[in-house]
Structure 1
Amino acid sequence: MYFKGRTVLAFVMLTMLASVLVTMTMADRWMEPDERGSTAVAAAASDDKGAYRLNQSELDKLNAVIELIETKYYEDVDREELVDGAVSGMMEALDDPYSVYMEKEVAQHFSESIEGSFTGIGAEVTSENGKIIVVSPIKGSPAERSGLLAKDVLVSVNGEALEGLSLQEAVAKIRGPKGTKAKIIVQRTGFAEPIQLVLIRDDIDVETVYGTIRPDGVGVIEIRQFSLNTAKRFKEELEKLEGQGMKGLVLDVRNNPGGVLPVVVEISQLMMKEGTTVVQVEDRNGNREKTLAKGGEQKKYPIAVLTNKGSASASEILAGALQEAAGATVIGEQSFGKGTVQVSYNKALGDGSLVKMTIAKWLTPDGNWIHEKGITPNKIVAPPDLYTVARMNLKETLKLDSLSEQVRSAQIMLHGLGYEPKREDGYFGAETADAVKKFQQEHGVPVTGEIDAATAGTLEQAVIKWIQNKENDAQLLEAVKAVSRK
């Protein structure tokens, strides 16, 4: 069975493959259906489910409202929309952003991320207090390439405001066919002005695991999400690195939004002593169920796990399990913080739609609930400013005495690349102009001391090249150092 979180993939709305899903943020596992087509653990399949049905007075009230709307409302209304609205209203009454109703059209696209193949912008989003917030951009996706970051607030897409929309409504505006353009306005902490990013929707890479061994003998395995084939690929990469004499292992789950729960359990227990706790689930009565490692062993070589703000759910399960029960070192930033469990039902509704609601918490091996807190690294290492700087979107040339967030972004880029503008406050002074001239001279751009579209494009390409150089990855280098010391 799979755990799947309330957050919805902006790159795709998934296709439902089974009658019931148990959801833990972005970590999923299938529940085996019983003879009645639901599950033995679901209240909907219990013998006394009739006790939870609407009584006659409640039914009369709903029927009265439907009749009033259909006979008195000034416009014709689709009856199916009324029923969908009633179910949505019940879920909203729970006042829980992780409990939602998905209509048939939305639910029909609910499997592609589990299979590891999808099309869109490549970002997972959630809804908090009426705002659409990025959980994580997927590595290598249009979202990541454009500079979208975890915790960014999405204000609008192609001119259409997102605030106040349901998660499904917002995602419907964000997603789209391959090759189409999405102009996204983002509000980012630390920036006074909104940021505009332009993304071209694309196929998202289905490969989820990348393994390499460094000249110093440290192996690095990057896990981009936990899809159905990820455990198999992880085993292959791990065995390959061990066969090459790996002396230490770095697991990189930065910007990994999660995935399939049995997969993260299978991966975790490969590095954990048999019988140790991988994860716990606690119901509303305080009863806890532990998932124990089977058939694995604690590795003799040191292990470090890299996290950032975009590491969520299954990534947090992996980091927490290895940190608390296998002696691994977590390095990087505080993770996203998603620690509740949702159950989703679609067969019970009978029309392909589904209801998803929070039923429990998930806890680390030591019983810690990381919800809205995240996994705390053993050593906090912030990414270089170039990793988080807002990409430039020039509407006019930046010149002396300009003052804007665009100038600030350019200054951060110049500073990070070694061209010292002397300030990063958004004011285009003489020192900034000198830094721009030096950059232009060394990159074959007309030397004007001003930032036009050509200079801005060249500057951003230089930043991307710098980021792609692993030797500039301060978090990775610290993780390598940690496993090398051990």
Structure 2
Amino acid sequence: MTFKKQHIVFILIAALVLGFAGAYFGVKLAQPDKQVKEEKAEVPLIKGDEEVEQPENMDKVVQAFGLIKKHYLMDVDDQQLVEGAIKGMLGSLDDPYSTYMDAETMKNFNETIESSFEGIGAEVSMVDGKVTIIAPIKDSPAEEAGLRPNDQILTVDEESVEGLELAEAVEKIRGEKGSEVVIKVQRAGVSDPFNVTIERDDIPVETVHSNVKKIDGKKTGVLEITTFSENTATEFKEQLTKLEEDGIEGLVIDVRGNPGGLFNAVEDILKLFIPKDMPYVQIEDQDGGKSPYYSELDTKKDYPISVVIDEGSASASEILAVAMKEAGYDVVGTKSFGKGTVQQAVPMGDGSTIKLTFYKWLSPKGTWIHEKGIKPTIKVKQPDYFYSNPVQLENPLTYNHTGEKVKNIQIMLDGLGYDPGRIDGYFNKQTVEAVKEFQQDNDVKVTGEIDKKTAGLIEAQIVDHIREGDDDQQMEKALNELYK
């Protein structure tokens, strides 16, 4: 990735990823504090006990403070100026991951790391000044509504979020369970933005999900990690043990849409798979010194393993994926997000916190994936309809119409098993027949035209189809390649 990324993790909970690549909205969207926790590494917080020498021109800061207090037209609170100075220093670093969280933001974050949250359930970040979805949380309202990685949020309940800090945008998305929020989204490849109405709900914090599949008669375990939080490693070990006791002959680890999390959580998981003859990660400090981290594992597992990633896999997910890749395991999917720095939270003594980039993390072989991402060993995209977009209509689409909206409808119809004849955006006679067939199957007036009701039904069924995973080509490829 070549663009600048600014990330805070906020979970848009009732009233809203090492670290997170972004923030959760209860939008849950994202949790600022959770992001900080995830980025902690077992390394010294400060190098030595020496004090930092005060620069000669620090008096200039005090002079500016006095000038504003004495002569500025309006009254200004002292705290506002002090916090503004801190934000200004961090902003001058040109590092989107180094941020300041005031006492209120920290309080909100601490409230969002309990057993569950209320919100829409999506992890967000600031990318090129735009509030951007990194990944919706599994089984969340955001996922059900069809939000996807790289969606940009333009407005919340018709109020623009342009120019707002990420925390301020998150505040607008917060709300109680059962309440609705309307988010205007701009999606890459779509010329017109569209509205998504989401009903906020409880967002559970279960981070590991497991199931067993039969592949060529072989019992195969699948472990999906949605984020790396405080209990993730424990949950992972417990569920892996159950799968092994159940006699699995292979394993797929799925970190698609996983924005990252706690450094220690991914460490503890990698210690189960990466033998002690190679590091599972390296940490590089500001002087270029590298510290490799090793497990105590003698040998690899005696069954094949692969990892599935996508563009929503970031931070701790990438630590896991690249370590497994360099250990010789297959990584299946599409290129990951690309976050290769480690932040630590430094309390300021008044309830506020500075989250500052202290280190780079490197792959076992010393590669820095920052803003580049991880290329899979087996590249697989999902079917076209996984990347289709909502269609918002003022007037029905009919025979002979052309354009992007028609193309999206054709892609979705094809994904649902209705043959439109083409998917190039021309509403031909075969598309008319496909629409009629869909309408008849769904007890809708059969017209062959796409009105708001028909478009809404098609979109809802596509979202359900994706969530059910029936055509999950990435997972299918990972499973089928496992025993080759």
The verdict on a shared fold, with TM-score over 0.5 as the criterion, is yes
Contact conserved, 2:308 with 2:478, CA < 8 A, in 1? Answer: yes
Selected match of 1:309 from 297, 300, 311: 311
TM-score by length of 1: 0.88
- 2:271 & 2:296 partners in 1: Cα distance? 6
- 2:470 & 2:342 partners in 1: Cα distance? 38
| Number of the residue aligned with 2:45 | 41
Amino acid at match of 1:333: T
Amino acid at match of 1:127: M
Larger mean Cα displacement after TM superposition, 437-446 or 458-467: 458-467
- 2:298 & 2:390 partners in 1: Cα distance? 44
Amino acid at match of 1:4: G
1:236 aligns with 2:238: yes
| Number of the residue aligned with 2:211 | 212
| Number of the residue aligned with 1:201 | 200
Structure 1 gaps of 5+ residues are 33-39
Contact conserved, 1:218 with 1:484, CA < 8 A, in 2? Answer: no
Amino acid at match of 2:338: G
Selected match of 1:323 from 313, 322, 325: 325
- 1:113 & 1:370 partners in 2: Cα distance? 30
- 1:290 & 1:13 partners in 2: Cα distance? 31
- 1:297 & 1:119 partners in 2: Cα distance? 43
- 1:79 & 1:215 partners in 2: Cα distance? 65
- 1:192 & 1:425 partners in 2: Cα distance? 16
| Number of the residue aligned with 2:179 | 180
Selected match of 1:259 from 247, 261, 266: 261
- 2:414 & 2:159 partners in 1: Cα distance? 35
| Number of the residue aligned with 2:23 | 8
- 1:182 & 1:323 partners in 2: Cα distance? 40
1:58 aligns with 2:58: yes
- 2:112 & 2:307 partners in 1: Cα distance? 23
| Number of the residue aligned with 1:345 | 346
Contact conserved, 2:23 with 2:32, CA < 8 A, in 1? Answer: no
Where do residues 2-401 of structure 1 align in structure 2 (5 Å cutoff)?
Answer: 3-5=18-20, 7-10=22-25, 11=28, 14=31, 27-29=38-40, 41-42=45-46, 46-51=48-53, 53=54, 55=56, 57-59=57-59, 61-111=60-110, 117-216=116-215, 217-295=219-297, 297-325=299-327, 327-346=328-347, 349-401=348-400
| Number of the residue aligned with 1:35 | none
Secondary structure, counterpart of 1:126 in structure 2: strand
Amino acid at match of 1:337: G
- 1:150 & 1:297 partners in 2: Cα distance? 36
Contact conserved, 1:14 with 1:107, CA < 8 A, in 2? Answer: no
- 1:320 & 1:301 partners in 2: Cα distance? 19
Q: Report the Cα offset of residue 87 of structure 1.
A: 1.0
Q: Deviations over 1:228-270 (max 9, x none)?
A: 1111211121121112221111111111111121111111221
CA gap 1:113/1:262 in 2 versus in 1, 3 angstroms: farther
Contact conserved, 2:180 with 2:197, CA < 8 A, in 1? Answer: yes
CA gap 1:400/1:72 in 2 versus in 1, 3 angstroms: farther
Contact conserved, 1:251 with 1:306, CA < 8 A, in 2? Answer: yes
Secondary structure, counterpart of 2:243 in structure 1: helix
CA gap 1:479/1:142 in 2 versus in 1, 3 angstroms: same
CA gap 1:215/1:7 in 2 versus in 1, 3 angstroms: closer
Contact conserved, 2:18 with 2:260, CA < 8 A, in 1? Answer: no
Contact conserved, 2:21 with 2:314, CA < 8 A, in 1? Answer: no
- 2:251 & 2:111 partners in 1: Cα distance? 30
Contact conserved, 1:337 with 1:375, CA < 8 A, in 2? Answer: yes
- 2:41 & 2:364 partners in 1: Cα distance? 22
Secondary structure, counterpart of 2:372 in structure 1: coil
- 1:191 & 1:15 partners in 2: Cα distance? 30
- 1:464 & 1:397 partners in 2: Cα distance? 21
Q: Deviations over 1:57-104 (max 9, x none)?
A: 523x33332333233222222221121111111111112222211221
Contact conserved, 2:119 with 2:203, CA < 8 A, in 1? Answer: yes
Q: Report the Cα offset of residue 405 of structure 1.
A: 4.0
- 2:273 & 2:301 partners in 1: Cα distance? 6
Amino acid at match of 1:9: Y
Contact conserved, 1:5 with 1:342, CA < 8 A, in 2? Answer: no
Q: Report the Cα offset of residue 204 of structure 1.
A: 1.4
CA gap 1:75/1:430 in 2 versus in 1, 3 angstroms: farther
Q: Report the Cα offset of residue 27 of structure 1.
A: 3.5
RMSD, aligned α-carbons: 2.5
Q: Deviations over 1:97-123 (max 9, x none)?
A: 222112211122234665563332222
Q: Report the Cα offset of residue 404 of structure 1.
A: 5.1
TM-score by length of 2: 0.88
Secondary structure, counterpart of 2:482 in structure 1: helix
- 2:235 & 2:158 partners in 1: Cα distance? 41
Q: Report the Cα offset of residue 396 of structure 1.
A: 4.0
Larger mean Cα displacement after TM superposition, 420-429 or 309-318: 420-429
State percent identity of aligned pairs. 44
Contact conserved, 2:30 with 2:123, CA < 8 A, in 1? Answer: no
Contact conserved, 1:14 with 1:112, CA < 8 A, in 2? Answer: no
Q: Report the Cα offset of residue 420 of structure 1.
A: 2.2
Q: Report the Cα offset of residue 165 of structure 1.
A: 2.6
CA gap 1:140/1:394 in 2 versus in 1, 3 angstroms: farther
- 2:120 & 2:174 partners in 1: Cα distance? 7
Q: Report the Cα offset of residue 275 of structure 1.
A: 4.3
Q: Report the Cα offset of residue 356 of structure 1.
A: 1.8
Contact conserved, 1:29 with 1:261, CA < 8 A, in 2? Answer: yes
Secondary structure, counterpart of 2:39 in structure 1: strand
